[in-house]
Amino acid sequence: MKRTWLILLALAAAAAAVQAQLSFITNANNTLSVTGYAGAGGVVNIPSTNDGLRVISIGEYAFFAQTNVTSVTIPGSVTSIGENAFLSCFGLTNATLSNGVASIGAGAFGNCDNLPSITLPGSLTNIGIQALDGCFGLTAIGVEAQNSFYSSVDGVLFDKSQSTLLQFPNGRGGSYTVPGSVTSIEDYAFQDCVYLTNVTMDNDVTNIGMIAFYNCRGLTTVTIPGSVTSTGDYAFEYCEGLTNVTIVNGVTSISFDGFEYCSSLARVTIPGSVTNIGGEAFEFCSNLASVYFQGNAPTVDSPFVFSYDTNARAYYLPGTTGWGDFSTNTGLPVVLWNPLIQAGDASFGVRSNQFGFNITGTSNIPIRVEASANLAGPVWIPLQTLTLTNGLFYFSDPQWTNYSGRFYRISSP
């Protein structure tokens, strides 16, 4: 019995010590909110009551930059965690949230670099923007199964129906395929996912939100499906590793600052469906050399769409319009994209049992040679994708003898 009393006394003393390190304010309904912490760090168990009053919330910035706190347990009495409550708690490796928590404010656990995972309780009804942004050690976001508003698939946060992707954990890397159930990529969903290298989306996705892929500097390739008519502002800004962007026909607008500071982007093809490019969309893309347009010149929202892209050129197709105004409005030089098969020179014909011909046109443009066995109901098969060097390339086809007829055309990849 004596030992039991000693243990109880020790626990009571520990609880009192934690409560003494916390500061509170008394709310109008005679409840308490945690407003600050002044302890030495380590494990912090927030009490459910203090001096007989119920603790119901953790206030904004209450634990801001408390880098020595390694673990925090939030009791079921707490229903809300305020904005930036645990912002920049770099040492935090464990956060336990009980089933009473209904609201987590914007930035609540932002920049908690060493937090490896977190499970959102079944009671949660609202999570603010960027609540887990900058958590570069975070590899999994879990959700208790009984939650009616949110769900988790493979450690990624979705709404309950899994039609909206809300948050990809910053610590995950490699490639990711967005599930087919998803129609919307929420604002900030992939922000600061610096280890992500590739994202695949299918034609069920209709919305890519604002700042959705901001600062995904490890991202190298992305395809924007034609089902997405426009992307949110700053959607791919500071994706410094992005080298390949495919914009599928159907997209009508490229947003404000959409690809600004994508310094590795060398070439982009813009489909004919795009009718408008937002201000500064490709500004500071210092490596951008070639912008291929497959339709008429789009309108631009400002003269700074291609600012500081000193090596960039716009290539346009024969028969399309508006390029004089486009060049004037953007300062971007425009060049006719007009590769031709040369049928009248000595290159045309059979050489070493291969049929071939010269292709001429503007230097350093990509083309694709395609072939069909007939022209009545042609099925065009890609044979080779190449780049015209110094405005000339000799193409040869070793398979020409396998067909009774062989027809060729060149197109933009």
Q: Give me the pLDDT at residue 16, please.
A: 52
Alpha-carbon gap, residue 368 to 319, rounded angstroms: 20
| The pLDDT value given to residue 87 | 98
| Full-model pTM | 0.85
Strand, helix or coil for residue 106: coil
Q: Is 134 part of a structural domain of the chain?
A: no
State whether 350 and 324 are in the same domain. Answer: no
Residue 411 has pLDDT above 90, yes or no: no
Lowest average pLDDT, out of 13-27, 68-82, 164-178, goes to 13-27
CA 126 to chain centroid: 22
Specify which residues 134 forms β-bridges with: none
- 383 and 262 co-located in one domain: no
Q: Do 215 and 305 have their domain in common?
A: yes
Same domain (yes/no): 331, 350: no
Q: Are residue 226 and residue 328 in the same domain, yes or no?
A: yes
State residue 19 phi and psi, 5-degree precision: -65, -35
Between 194 and 15, whose confidence is greater? Answer: 194
Residues 393-405, mean pLDDT to the nearest whole number: 93
| Residue 108 included in any domain | no
CATH code, 349: 2.60.40
pLDDT for 337 beyond 90: no
Asked whether residue 196 falls in the same domain as residue 303, the answer is: yes
Going by pLDDT thresholds of 50, 70 and 90, the confidence category of residue 19 is low
**161-199: pLDDT as tens digits:** 999 999 999 999 999 999 999 999 999 999 999 999 999
Kindly tell me the sign of the dihedral angle through the C-alpha atoms of 261, 262, 264, 270: negative
154 in a structural domain? no
**Phi, psi of 207, rounded to the nearest 5 degrees:** -140, 130
Return the CATH number at 323: 3.80.10.10
How many structural domains comprise the chain? 2
pLDDT greater than 90 at residue 224:
yes
Mean pLDDT of 219-235: 94
- Pair 333, 345 in one domain: no
- Token digits of residue 259: 């690809």
195 found inside a domain: yes
Claim to verify: residue 212 and residue 287 sit in the same structural domain: yes
377: in domain: yes
In a domain, 281, yes or no: yes
Kindly state the average pLDDT of the residues 302-327.
95
Residues 323 and 185 in one domain: yes
Q: What is the pLDDT of residue 15?
A: 53
Of 337, 357, 377, the last residue of a domain is: 337
Confidence band of 365 (pLDDT split at 50, 70, 90): confident
Domain that holds residue 287: 176-337
Q: Report if residue 88 sits inside a domain.
A: no
* Confidence class for position 5, pLDDT limits 50, 70, 90: very low
Read off the pLDDT of residues 132-172 as tens digits, 9 standing for 90 and up.
999 999 999 999 999 999 999 999 999 999 999 999 999 99
Q: Is residue 347 part of a domain?
A: yes
Give the pLDDT of residue 17: 52
pLDDT at 8: 41
* Single-letter amino acid code for the residue at 217: R
